[in-house]
Amino acid sequence: AKVGGADKKSLRELAESLAHSNSKYTLKIVGYASKRLDHVTDFAMVKEVNLKMAQKRADAVRAVLEKAGISVDIIQVEAKGDAVSNPSPGDRTQEEADRRVDVYMDEK
């Protein structure tokens, strides 16, 4: 649940662009997890652990944005666990692509 260097840079750039904007925006941060969980066979436990991991990912992104100056008042955080696969995995495996955080920006 750590944000990589390139992603931190992108998030800081987003924060900077919002700071210079005259419009009001809200950010929705949604965390996801892959369906795989080693050494756990109980379906309910897999779902619970993956939901917690997705929350940690989303919280890590929120922390970077807050540190960059984004007000907590405009941020909403949500975790979807392993419920939604990434529809565009690109050159990554599906499992790698499913471990992600999406950030949505809406104008108020």
**Which contiguous run of DSSP H or E holds residue 11?**
helix 5-19
How do residues 62-101 score in pLDDT, each as one tens digit?
Answer: 999 999 999 999 999 999 999 999 999 999 999 999 999 9
Is residue 51 predicted with pLDDT exceeding 90?
yes
Residues 6 or more apart whose CB falls under 8 angstroms from that of 96 comprise 34, 89
- Report the percentage of the chain scoring pLDDT > 90: 80
Over residues 13-31, the mean pLDDT reads: 88
pTM of the model as a whole: 0.91
Mean pLDDT of the chain: 93
pLDDT (0 to 100) of residue 75? 94
Q: From 55, 92, 49, 64, select the one nearest 6 (Cα to Cα).
A: 64
Segment 33-49 shows an average pLDDT of 91
